[in-house]
Amino acid sequence: MEIAKYFSPVKAGNNYQPYMWGTHIKSFADKNFPNLDGVKVAIIGVGEERNAGDNAGCAAAPDKVREGFYNLAYIQGLKVADLGNLIIGHTVNDTYAALAFVCGELFDMNIIPVIIGGSQDLTYAAYRGYERLKQTVNIVCVDRKLDLGPDEDSINSGSYLNKIIQHEPNLLFNFSLVGYQTHFVAPAELDLVTKMYFDLHRLGQLQANLEEAEPIVRNADMLSIDVSAIRRSDAPGTFGSTPNGMYGEEMCQVFRYAGMSDKLTSVGIYEVNPHFDDRGQTVELAAQFIWYFLDGFANRKNDFPVPTEKDYVKYIVAIKAPDHELVFYKSLKTDRWWMEVPFRVSTKSKYERHHMVPCSYQDYLMACAEEMPDRWWQAYQKLN
- Rounded CA separation 158/141 (Å): 13
Q: Helix, strand or coil for residue 10?
A: coil
To the nearest 5 percent, what fractions of the chain are helix, strand and coil? 40, 20, 40
Rg (C-alpha) for the chain, rounded Å, is 20
Burial call 218-241: b when 16+ CB within 10 Å, e when fewer:
bbbbbbbbbbbbbbbebbbbbbbb
What domains, with CATH codes, occur in the chain? 2-297 (3.40.800.10), 309-383 (no CATH)
Q: Measured on CA atoms in the order 83, 84, 89, 95, is the torsion positive or negative?
A: positive
- Rounded CA separation 103/126 (Å): 6
Strand-pairing partners, residue 137, are 172
Say how many residues make up the chain: 384
Which parts of the chain fold into alpha helices (H)? 21-24, 61-70, 92-108, 122-128, 160-166, 187-195, 203-208, 213-218, 248-260, 281-297, 348-351, 361-368, 374-383
**One pLDDT digit (tens) per residue for the chain, 384 residues:** 789 999 999 987 778 999 999 999 999 987 789 999 999 999 999 999 999 999 999 999 999 999 999 999 999 999 999 999 999 999 999 999 999 999 999 999 999 999 999 999 999 999 999 999 988 999 999 999 999 877 666 788 989 999 999 999 999 999 999 999 999 999 999 999 989 999 999 999 999 999 999 999 999 999 999 999 999 999 999 999 999 999 999 999 999 999 999 999 999 999 999 999 999 999 999 999 999 999 999 999 988 766 567 889 999 999 886 667 899 999 998 999 999 998 766 555 567 788 899 999 999 999 999 999 999 988 888 887
Is the whole model's pTM more than 0.85, yes or no? yes
Q: How far is CA 239 from CA 59, 106, 268, in A?
A: 13, 31, 18
